[in-house]
Amino acid sequence: MRATKKQRPKGFSSVKPYAHRVRKHPFINLLRRIAKRVFPKSEIIYSEPLPENEGIILCCNHALDYGPLVILTDYKRPMRLWSDPALCYFSKVPNHAMLYFFPETKGIVRFFARIASFLLTIVVPVFRGLEVIPAYRNPDVLITFRKTAETIAENKDVIIFPETEVPSTEYKYVNNLNNGFIRVSRFCSEKTGTPVKFYPAYACKSLRKLLIGHPVVVDTERSEKEQLKEFKKKISDEIESLANSLPPHEITPFNFRQDDPSQLKKYGANDKYSYKKLRKNFNAKNEIENSDSRKN
């Protein structure tokens, strides 16, 4: 009988269902080591020990670039981050850069901004090498949930930044949260057979600390819609509690493009355009591109 060839284990891919082999990323590892030397070290404080040999979901505030950077440089556990899908595709990065970094440029300045936006495609191999999970919106959000469940099943943590751009009227240190990320719990539970734990975290740039709180677990006996408000409140309450446990400190916003004029003034931002309109236009472009890719 003819011997069958041993099948290679499949690897993770940010832009495909899977990679044909498990990839090593020596260049990405080198970049992370360099970043650790350049980026000042931060202290990570745990409210309780994290479970061993079990993947968790860490829900962290964004704090501009500090949240992702402190995770990449100082978080020791194996993990993957949720990321904007546009940063994983060469074709989408230029438009993404124009919308976010050069939205109101005109004339010759816009011409050079456009050139710069194409040069920024260099980030694509980096994000793919980091094995980020693209955080799609409907209808491709199922891809995000499946890749998250696969990561949890590999006993790796998943880092998400669930804040929206809308400042909260109830909380001082965290914006309003998105609604959709609770749905990932069902996919993880089906994949692993056990409920996944969500750990709220607060990234404080001014004190250079990352605080990780107590876990929140979705009740599998109740519908996600029924407990959505309660779940979001538990996450926000824990993040707020972590922030309040620190000495008085400067608050780092989600970003400088807040729709509320008082927020613009508070954080000294100069952006006068409507961020809501900007985001709406960007999402519309992504939906068109995603529908075209599915047709092909």
Residue 18's alpha-carbon distances to 13, 58, 94, 133, 136, in angstroms, are 5, 23, 25, 12, 17
Q: What is d(CA 54, CA 213) in angstroms, rounded to the nearest whole number?
A: 17
Residue 259 structure tokens = 């729709």
Contact 128, 143 (CB under 8 A): no
> Over its length of 296 residues, how does the chain's per-residue pLDDT go in tens digits?
444 445 666 788 888 887 766 677 777 788 888 888 888 899 999 999 999 999 999 999 998 889 999 999 999 999 999 999 999 999 999 988 888 778 778 889 889 999 999 999 999 999 999 999 999 987 788 899 999 999 999 999 999 999 988 888 899 999 999 988 888 998 898 888 889 999 999 999 999 999 999 999 998 888 888 899 999 999 999 999 999 999 999 888 876 554 444 444 433 333 333 444 444 444 444 444 444 444 44
